[in-house]
Amino acid sequence: MSVPTRRRLSRRGRRELLALAAAVPILVAVTACSTSPAPTPEPSSDPITIAVEAALTGDLSANGQDILRGAQLAVDQANESGGVLGRQIVIIEADDKADPATGIALAQEIVDGPAVAVVGIDDSSVGLKNLPLYINGEVVPVHMTSSDDTAGEGVTIRPKNSQISPVEVAYIKGLNATNVSMLVDPSAYTQGMADRLSKALNADGITVTMTPIVAGKVDYTEEVTAALSSGPNVVYVSTYYPEGSVIANALAVAAAGGSTAACFMGLGNQDPGFISAAGIPDSQGCVFSGVPTPDEFPAAADFISAYTAKFSTAPGVWSVFAYDSVRLLLNAMTSANSTDYAPVLEALTNSTDFAGATGPITIVPATGIRPNAPVTILKVTSAGAFALAS
């Protein structure tokens, strides 16, 4: 689905009509009264509006609210320093509920409104549907999807599945696994990750079997039993956390009954809600592919301090990526000396060695992807937090 052409033209047309309306009185005055040059128009003092889109309610809201807080912190700091281009920045909160249909409706509303950019969109199923709407509507996307199918649709500083998969392959091969069983949610990102990993493991002679799961169930004992029936060395769980946490409980029961299969959770399960739902002991029975937590980024100390002081809670894993996404966007507006779509997007895609809290950020112009996006293997500590696995 794409935004109707008339919407795109009306956004441009409004700018042209405003410019014409401003110019006509000046031309009349010059003709009637003077041959002096027309005065330079005053720069806009209207605020710069940015939408922050994430799952702000529902099962994935812990990460969504964390994304919103990280973005808000970046905006507040910019405003305290005078804003951007002499203008303050305001945020529109956009709750896509991790639902593609909701995401489409939101994008259409945002394109028709005052926002010049959107930050967030961390659910790949949503981004696959609404990122083209933002592009066609000339709202600059700085998104957080992991699907490679969204490459070239704005920019992202979060790792793509082509960057995550090699880390997962290396980990499984390091276990000397010969048989891997997968439990897979068939949504866009999770199925894509499972397919990519399966292909790579097969190429190395490792046997892979897949068992599909239906999202939303409260018990996956049957599916876990099926996954373990082939005697795997590793059970790889390509789901999001609500399902992953229930599967972790079932795998823990199986381990207590004698199963020796290692539990490996895909990145979609890196959510604080996972640990709360599964419990610390069962969460500790698994490792996770994911990104470093904020305290593991050497450049994030100031971010952590400011976030904790402002929100009276420690930052979650995705807030620091949202924070850097907003800062990268505002830096592009400053470099372009504009908030218009084309110059801002060009400045974004040509970002080089931007000093982010997540480390230096460079964007590949052709894809909008950060080539050095951080990916790692995580564990859960006895305190109930994600940390780098030893």
Whether 68 contacts 53, CB under 8 Å: no
Give the predicted TM-score (pTM) of the model: 0.85
In the numeric block, the tokens 């009509």 are attached to: 17
- Long-range CB pairs of 292-296, under 8 A, 24+ apart, other chains included: 292/374, 292/376, 292/388, 293/317, 293/378, 293/385, 293/386, 293/387, 294/319, 294/320, 294/357, 296/387, 296/388
pLDDT attached to residue 40: 40
How many CB atoms lie under 10 A from the CB of residue 169? 18
Among residues 191, 199, 197, the alpha carbon closest in space to that of 164 is found at: 197
Tell the CATH topology of 161-290: Rossmann fold (3.40.50)
What gap in Å lies between CA 250 and CA 219, rounded to an integer? 8
pLDDT attached to residue 55: 97
What gap in Å lies between CA 287 and CA 290, rounded to an integer? 10
Could you tell me the residue ranges of all domains in the chain?
Answer: 43-159+298-361, 161-290
37 class by beta-carbon count within 10 Å (0-12 exposed, 13-18 middle, 19+ buried): exposed
pLDDT attached to residue 272: 87
**Two tokens at 131?**
């990122």
Parallel/antiparallel/unpaired status of strands 286-290 and 207-212: unpaired
Among residues 65, 58, 55, 53, the alpha carbon closest in space to that of 319 is found at: 65
**Two tokens at 368?**
């909008």
279: left (phi over 0), alpha (psi -120 to 50) or beta: left
Would 43-159+298-361 and 161-290 be classified into the same CATH topology?
A: yes
In the numeric block, the tokens 């029961």 are attached to: 253
pLDDT attached to residue 15: 37
CA distances for 30 relative to 206, 248, 364, angstroms: 79, 76, 48
What gap in Å lies between CA 350 and CA 344, rounded to an integer? 10
What gap in Å lies between CA 166 and CA 203, rounded to an integer? 13
pLDDT attached to residue 43: 61
Whether 325 contacts 119, CB under 8 Å: yes
What gap in Å lies between CA 164 and CA 374, rounded to an integer? 9
Amino acid at 128: L
| Beta carbons within 8 Å of 278's beta carbon, 6+ residues apart | 244, 245, 246, 248, 249
What gap in Å lies between CA 136 and CA 112, rounded to an integer? 12
What gap in Å lies between CA 82 and CA 117, rounded to an integer? 19
Among residues 212, 276, 211, 292, the alpha carbon closest in space to that of 242 is found at: 276
Domain boundaries 43-159+298-361, CATH class: alpha beta
Q: Which residues pair with 299 in a beta bridge?
A: none
How many CB atoms lie under 10 A from the CB of residue 56? 20
What gap in Å lies between CA 88 and CA 185, rounded to an integer? 42
DSSP string, 95-163: E-TT-HHHHHHHHHHHHTSS-SEEEE---HHHHHHHHHHHHHTT-EEEE----GGGTTSSEE-SPPHHH
pLDDT attached to residue 33: 32
Q: Return per-residue pLDDT of the chain as tens, 390 residues.
A: 333 332 333 343 443 333 333 333 322 222 233 334 444 434 678 999 999 999 999 989 999 999 999 999 999 999 999 999 999 999 999 999 999 999 999 999 999 999 999 999 999 999 999 999 999 999 999 999 999 999 999 999 999 999 999 999 999 999 999 999 999 999 988 999 999 999 999 999 999 999 999 999 999 999 999 999 999 999 999 999 999 999 999 999 999 999 999 999 999 999 989 999 999 999 999 999 999 999 999 999 999 999 999 999 999 999 999 999 999 999 999 999 999 999 999 999 999 999 999 999 999 999 999 998 999 999 999 999 999 997
